[in-house]
Structure 1
Amino acid sequence: MKNIVILEDDKSFRELIMSEFDKCNDMQCVASYDKIKDLISDLGTLESDFFWLDISLPDGKSTDFIAEIKQMHPNALVMLCTMHDDDENIFEALKEGADGYILKNTALDKMTDAVYDLFKGGSPMSPFIARKVLHSFRPAENSSGDLKNLTAREKEILSLLAQGYLYKEVADDCTISLETVKKHVQNIYKKLHVQNRTEAIIKFLKEK
């Protein structure tokens, strides 16, 4: 059972998300907060596998505390769910260590899929956010690793990831298992000499 902690000041939205987790057999909301100070006060006593954070709260920005959350809970995952789609907030969150970033206008089932994707090793982002990230990064001057080294299937998977697809959506689209997608992704990383999804997509956009 995965323990979820939610930080969200909109009561109706918070309760909606909590009800979605209640429907899952393998996830449960163990605590919820509408203020950052209350979450940080309890941080040392929480047993959480996942932190669901809004960015703008009545008493500040949650992005200022991602590093502290990660320090106290090094094995926990952090995802931002917010209305903010501007560069400053996006890159601040990713820089501080957020594992995923989705917008509040995302469909509820996609939000749940994003959480599962995180636990399976993905880094979910709303497609709009993924595009902004990709367009804002400048590829390294000495980029190494060629797309020509990838198989047709690996190129297909990388193209879908560049469009913001979750691992589960890639698996469904390609009619393969989730484990097979993960194996392909690891092969892509090795062939392109990159460490993560963002670096792989940057190379894909540069060289395609």
Structure 2
Amino acid sequence: MGKRVAIAEDNILALRSIIDKLSVYDDIEVVYTANNGLEMMNHQQLESIDLAIMDIEMPVMDGIKATQQIHERYPEIKILMLTTYDDDDKVFNSLLAGATGYLLKSESSKYIYQSIISILDGGAVMSASIALKTINYIKREEEKNCVQFSLTERELEILTELKKGLAYKEIASKLFLSEGTVRKHIENIYRKLQVNNKVSAINIATENKIIK
């Protein structure tokens, strides 16, 4: 049975290009097309599709907003963003809205097809340049959080060992410090994170991706 796909794209030339790229694959059926996100979301056949291919910049309702609403109403429908935009905000807002793929329109028909199959098999896909942006974004956020709380490298080490469940004495032995020094570092950690216990410190550090 073919994979049932719908496409939201307001540019007629881009739409024809996407349909042409998919037309060579017998197991992909383009069920319907829409000119904007609202039209996609309100289509009577929406519930029957397996995957929505979504442009981002469209009139009436953009692709990110439509993605969020479709994902909330029909979480079983997979959504692939196919766009010319590669800026950070659009990438991450799309992923947060519920998209499981983000490809640039310049990708080959074979890669778009393989990405659709991968998504429908439970995977997530990105163009190579988008994946690199995502990695760099995560790194920047981690660095930003460390700067925000001003934790030193030693404090991060001790906080990581605390998360592993090690006692002060065990941390001191592992890091070749005195137990008193470890306690002093932990006091500084609590002060910087504005907490008064180990559990709260670990939770804040983990939530903010200061430690893994």
- Indicate the RMSD between aligned Cα atoms, in angstroms: 2.7
Q: 1:9 to 1:120 in 2, by over 3 A?
A: same
The answer (yes or no) to whether the contact 2:36–2:63 under 8 Å persists in 1 is: no
Paired residues for 1:16-31 under 5 Å:
16-31=17-32
TM-score (norm 2): 0.62
Find the structure with the greater CA-based Rg: 2
The answer (yes or no) to whether the contact 1:43–1:72 under 8 Å persists in 2 is: no
Post-superposition offset of 1:107: 1.9
CA deviation map 1:165-185 (0-9, x unaligned): xxxxxxxxxxxxxxxxxxxxx
Paired with 2:83 and 2:53, the residues of 1 have a C-alpha distance of 10
- SS in structure 2 of the partner of residue 114 of structure 1: helix
Match for residue 109 of structure 1? 110
- SS in structure 1 of the partner of residue 48 of structure 2: coil
5+ long unaligned stretches in structure 2: 146-155, 165-208
- SS in structure 2 of the partner of residue 16 of structure 1: helix
Paired with 2:25 and 2:109, the residues of 1 have a C-alpha distance of 13
| Total equivalences in the alignment | 148
- SS in structure 2 of the partner of residue 98 of structure 1: coil
TM-score (norm 1): 0.63
- SS in structure 2 of the partner of residue 131 of structure 1: helix
- Match status 1:136 vs 2:126: no
The answer (yes or no) to whether the contact 1:2–1:49 under 8 Å persists in 2 is: yes
Paired with 1:45 and 1:112, the residues of 2 have a C-alpha distance of 20
Match for residue 39 of structure 2? 38
Amino acid across the alignment from 1:107: S
Post-superposition offset of 1:45: 5.0
The answer (yes or no) to whether the contact 1:43–1:69 under 8 Å persists in 2 is: no
Match for residue 65 of structure 2? 64
- SS in structure 1 of the partner of residue 122 of structure 2: coil
CA deviation map 1:71-129 (0-9, x unaligned): 33221110101111111101100111110001112122211121122122221100100
Paired with 2:81 and 2:44, the residues of 1 have a C-alpha distance of 17
Paired with 1:78 and 1:72, the residues of 2 have a C-alpha distance of 13
Q: 1:136 to 1:107 in 2, by over 3 A?
A: same
Paired with 2:46 and 2:105, the residues of 1 have a C-alpha distance of 28
Q: Percent identical across equivalent pairs?
A: 22
